Amino acid sequence: MLKKNRVNFIQDKLQQLYPTQPIPLDHNSPYTLLVAVLLSAQCTDKRVNTVTPALFKLADNPFTMATQDVDIIRTIIRPCGLSPKKSKAIKRLSEILVEKYHGEVPENMEQLEELPGVGHKTASVVMSQAFGVPAFPVDTHIHRLAQRWGLTNGKNVTQTEKDLKRLFPKDIWNALHLQIIYYGREFCSARGCDGTVCEICTTCYPNRVKPKITNKT
């Protein structure tokens, strides 16, 4: 199957399966989404959603969070892993939001990436899911699927993001990002499919017999 045909098939199949795309992380504002995405690094969304109710009961805005003791934050978020680093980042980014942005999360990629604990992927998620700005957050899971489906040969998420943005219309980036996540969890997980099992993999590569090994640095 030609790449153009793969792109069209994948786009149509994902839209058929996931016509609506609820945001996986529970939140009620750009700030709580930002904190939840930060917590999701090397942690499942499900685990984050069990932790954030207690955290947001303590503080659901940067003004209140900035006044909290970092040890209290760390105790609450410990189940998410990397709690010493994440707790310091949450407190400091809250202080910066108060000091520089009047307590508002900036609707700007560069300003988001300057916040402690906020990398490009986290900033992209906030821009797309909180503000509706077209972005294509790519993590290692989307990177793996994009390689299985022949959409990129990139060795890192940066190149994969560029390739996906080039292949798909800008107006579907936000939805497609979530659709790929949902499909990967349901049908094309790291253990559930090696590039030779799920419908998208077998349709795009019907003659593939060996597992697809993800290229990464």
CA distances from 46 to 39, 51, 79, 101, 212 (A): 11, 9, 11, 30, 28
Q: Where are the alpha helices (DSSP H) in the chain?
A: 3-17, 30-39, 45-58, 62-65, 70-77, 83-101, 109-113, 120-129, 140-148, 157-167, 173-186, 199-204
Q: Which of the residues 139, 163, 194, 210 is marked catalytic?
A: 139
The active-site residue out of 121, 194, 212, 216 is: 121
Question: Coil, strand, or helix at residue 77?
Answer: helix
Phi, psi of 149 (to 5 degrees): -90, 5
Cα angle 85, 87, 92 (rounded to 5 degrees) comes to 95
- 139 is known as an active-site residue: yes
163 a catalytic residue: no
Helices 70-77 and 45-58 pack at an angle, to 10 degrees, of 150
Close Cβ partners of 79 (under 8 Å, ≥ 6 residues apart): 47, 50, 51
Catalytic annotation, residues: 121, 139
